[in-house]
Amino acid sequence: MAAMPGSPERFPRVALVGRHASPDLAAPLARLAAFLEGRGHHVVFEEETARCAAIAAHATAPAARIGELVDLAVVLGGDGTMLSIARHIAPFDVPLIGINQGRLGFLTDIPLAQMEAVLGAMLEGRYVEEPRTLLKASIERAGHPPASALALNDVVVNRGNSGSMIDVAVDIDGRFVFSLRADGLIVSTPTGTTAYALSAGGPIIDPEVKALALVPVAPHALTHRPIAVAESAVIAIVIERGNDAAVNCDGQAHFPLAENDRVTVQRAPYVSRFLHPEGHDHFAMLRAKLHWSEAPGDASARRPASAPRPRTTARR
């Protein structure tokens, strides 16, 4: 992944998308809009972002139409904001830049305090482009028309509010693979392996690896382990037991499921294009976000002084 040559004219029209629930949204968005307009870019605000930030002096468009109107989308928020807009604009091949106003920020990697300096260099062509796989979930349910949704992180089939485990049968490329009794099953892209799949014990997959991860959630049998399959695989999940099951895509698109309903997951026909600052390194980002470089004693330095020290048991 090399830095791409370019100039500000590469992106004459720029969309701004913000984290809707943030109380501190208006000021940095206004700063960002003024910065871009000062460089000659035409700014379009995502409609709900403009409403939540009380911004009225710029053109707006709904999220579903942003991709038709701009050459670049800049997202100010957290990974959830990035996931939401990425699914809307991927079919239009519009790249994304993320400015982190959230917590970890695996996808939004520019610090808010440095946004003008870093973004200015990127708009001049000093950036690294990284394509990210998208999933398409097709849902077949008795008594309902077929439905589909996209996911950048994961497609999750899970139990409902009753608390009972669900039973599912899994086929890959038309071949039966296993039956599973569990709280759920995650089908994750490499991007999503640092999200829900990671907390369920799945592996972290480098985005350059063309693979998907299948990660059981609290399986009844301990022999069920995460597996990696080819990115080209077509994965079919059939509900065998569990009348209050559901499927969700990136935690944002939800569909209830009943017994014999089927969810088919496969690679979408397009990708999400992420632009990172020049010199971006995926593993350096993981080290920073997951504190991989800390010695075991370093964690105690971050504990507030008022926090009780953990109890230890002397060895006999």
Positions annotated as catalytic residues are 79
Question: How many residues in the chain?
Answer: 316
Structure tokens at 60: 């707006």
- Specify the 3-state DSSP secondary structure of 54: coil
Query: In the beta sheet, which residues pair with residue 176?
Result: 171
In angstroms, the Cα distances linking 316 to 310, 311, 312 are: 19, 16, 13
DSSP H or E run through 49 = helix 47-52
> Taking Cα atoms as reference points, which of 200, 185, 188 lies closest to residue 154?
188
Structure tokens at 165: 């485990």
DSSP H or E run through 31 = helix 26-38
- How far is Cα 123 from Cα 269, in angstroms, rounded to an integer? 27
Q: What is the CA radius of gyration of the chain?
A: 22
